[in-house]
Amino acid sequence: MVAFGKKLKDRQIQEWQGYYINYKLMKKKVKQYDNQIKAGSLDRRHVLKDFSRMLDNQIERIVLFMLEQQGVLASRISELNKQQESLQEQPDISKIIELRESYRDVGRDLLKLLFFVEINAIGLRKILKKFDKRFGYRFTDYYVKTRANHPYSQLQQVFKHVGLGAVVGAISRNLADLQDRQGSYLSIYDQPSLPLQDSVVDSLQAAVDRLSHSTNFLNFLAQHALIMQEEFPTPVEEQVDDQRYHFMSLILNLANTFLYMVNTYIIVPTADDYSMSLGAAATVCGIVIGAMAVAQIFSSVYFSAWSNRSYFRPLVFSSIVLFVGNIMYALAYDLKSIPVLLIGRIFCGLGSARAVNRRYISDCVPLKIRMQASAGFVSASALGMACGPALAGLLQTNFKIYKLTFNQDTLPGWLMAFAWLVYLIWLWISFREPATETEVNTGPQEPANNENDVLENGVTQPLLLKVEDNQQDDENDQEYDESEEAPEESRQPANSIAEAYRLLTPSVKVQLLIYFMLKYAMEVLLSESSVVTTYYFSWSTGTVAIFLACLGLTVLPINVVVGSYISNMFEDRQILLVSEIMVFLGILGSFHIVSPYTVPQYVCSGLIMFVAAEVLEGVNLSLLSRVMSSRLSRGTYNGGLLSTEAGTFARVIADVTITLAGYLGQSKLLNVTLLPSLLICLASIIATCYTYNSLY
């Protein structure tokens, strides 16, 4: 992998070299400060003042050049507007075409300026992060708040780009006026619903969207999907995405995610009752629920590998296997067979296509909407988690058709089988298999040396001013000098689980441990809820379903609060540690120590644990998506697969723990299953404190 300084140098527009942020100089200055402080020849107060002044000078040079270029572009547009006014009196098709191309030339030059802003913003973000990491300060927070909120802020020019937006608007409006009108000058304001079909305007809009980004919440939510992206995308990647993307296929992938999560949790309120009706203990529900997770450990790998070649075929296979698995789950009641019940759930786990859903978003959705698609993936999962138990609560009926029984135990299976059959038909009719990258690349292409085409497609990545960033890039930045490159193999995806594991840094391993812990704690709470509440409070299936549905409905509101407010007020590592402590307190409060064990104690403790775990999951995955190696962004053994395997493995162990604890009796089930959760949570807190103290 090439160090950032080298990438910055390679991406610069040659004639503008003197106006970019001097990342190499500032990096050396940070190192010089460190040596001087250690030698005692410089105090930290002077470092902060000197570094702030240096940053101010760098930003001022960037902004003044940017304003100068905006003025040049504005003058060119003004001259073109005069030509357009003369054409209104005497329309000439050839001159209209020539004028349109002149506006496009201005648009291409504007793309150069947007690319200039992007590279400088990334360099600024990285040098701030490097300073914080080197000295352990929260300098970035201070610098951004004091500069960004000042009425004379030059930093605002880099990240708000109000003037650039006005130039984009002028080019878009005039191109719309001239687009195939042959003298008819309709305004974009008169018909806002009609899209402007022009590649330059599309590229400008994509660039502006990426610079503006979206909202903190949308970005925060999207990172839960662990669909990582390269910091500097290539134009070829963007062209491939546009040609492979199909809106209905994306919807089908999100629908698959939603239905699978419904399928996972719809049996939770009735699994204990189903087990007892087949002659087993109530705690066998742990194995029944966990059988799906066991199979998912293997299905995640082969579905991820299969999606290298196709998306349609694995989704069809997934739907068929889930249809069969749910039929078997429903038939187990009349067959009086626990093995059939378990095999049905294993089939459901073998149909887990979440790896395919992630890969489709990562590989086929254009960069300009990939964040929204990732947020949709997370939202579909959360909604499915809430709808599953809610649907189970509605299926309180009992009747027979011929020899088939339809009751609260079997109806989840029959309902999901019908849902997957409908989905399969919809999939067969509407899904479009994306063209392979080889097929896309062999199609008509523009010459590779066209700088304007590179700029039109290259300004596509979001610019967010964050303290945290890709830790792997930062380590590479320290390891390599700007003039050196790592071997080509270092940029390739991991070829095995073992190789992927070797790419994990200590902080990433700690965050995977945290993910394991929270999934374990949540699975214990959800899977044993029916058994525990029946034993202590005599809750009905409907009451359990309402309780679980209410827990599921907290997911999106909690993420709104964290993504929009809390993450702006505190550092991610602070939220991480506080959330872990709250999970610990929630688990501790759930223990049955003092009799009688009351509903308020169980509900409040469970709610604290679940909500804190949701906050923890959001922040943890947000951090994980930024510090995981970019080599894990694509390929079979990607970051999403690693996190899925860690979470699934945690669910399996939790469900097995519930079943084994059942042999000690239902009176001891709660405390026995909570004890491992408490110990793992404590271990994750210690690991977090140790890791982040050593890093910062």
In this predicted model, what pLDDT tens digit does every residue of 197-244 receive, in sequence order?
556 666 666 665 555 544 445 555 555 555 555 444 444 444 445 567
Could you tell me the two tokens for 251? Answer: 């919807």
- Token pair 């000058």 is found at 185
Q: Report the CATH architecture of 4-181+199-225.
A: Up-down Bundle (1.20)
Cα separation of 567 and 562, whole Å?
Answer: 6
Assess contact for 270 and 324: CB atoms under 8 A: no
Residue 386: CB atoms within 10 Å: 21
- Give the Å distances, CA to CA, from 48 to 14, 33, 121, 274, 474: 32, 10, 20, 66, 21
Q: How many residues are there in the chain? A: 696
Cα separation of 326 and 347, whole Å?
Answer: 8
Cα separation of 260 and 263, whole Å?
Answer: 5
CATH 1.20.1250.20 positions along the chain are: 245-432+500-691
Radius of gyration of the chain (CA): 28
Ranges of the chain whose pLDDT falls below 70: 1-9, 89, 136-138, 141-142, 144-145, 148-169, 172, 176-243, 368, 371, 436-492, 563-564, 567-569, 622, 625-636, 692-696
Assess contact for 457 and 239: CB atoms under 8 A: yes
CATH 1.20.1050 positions along the chain are: 4-181+199-225
Residue 484: CB atoms within 10 Å: 11
Estimate to the nearest angstrom the gap between the alpha carbon of 473 and the chain centroid: 19
- In the chain the first and final C-alpha atoms are separated, in Å, by 25
Cα separation of 204 and 587, whole Å?
Answer: 51
- Token pair 């040049």 is found at 72
Closest by CA to 161, choosing from 195, 124, 209, is 209
Residue 363: CB atoms within 10 Å: 19
**Contacts (Cβ under 8 Å, ≥6 apart) of 632:** 228, 493, 494, 500, 503, 638, 639, 642
Closest by CA to 175, choosing from 211, 200, 144, is 200
Closest by CA to 454, choosing from 233, 681, 269, 690, is 233
Residue 656: CB atoms within 10 Å: 15
Could you tell me the two tokens for 470? Answer: 């890709």
Q: Does the global pTM surpass 0.75?
A: no
Cα separation of 132 and 17, whole Å?
Answer: 27
Cα separation of 339 and 328, whole Å?
Answer: 10
Closest by CA to 262, choosing from 404, 429, 420, is 420
Could you tell me the two tokens for 192? Answer: 């806002």
| DSSP letters spanning 392-434 | HHH----EEETTEEESTTTHHHHHHHHHHHHHHHHHHHH--PP
Cα separation of 540 and 574, whole Å?
Answer: 40
What pLDDT shows up at residue 15?
81
Cα separation of 28 and 5, whole Å?
Answer: 11
**Using one digit for the tens of pLDDT, what is the confidence trace for 502-530?**
777 777 888 889 989 999 999 999 999 99
| CATH of the domain spanning 245-432+500-691, picked from 3.30.70.2860, 1.10.8.60, 1.20.1250.20, 1.10.357.10 | 1.20.1250.20
Cα separation of 146 and 52, whole Å?
Answer: 11
Closest by CA to 134, choosing from 29, 62, 14, is 29
- Give the Å distances, CA to CA, from 408 to 278, 354, 399, 540: 14, 27, 10, 12
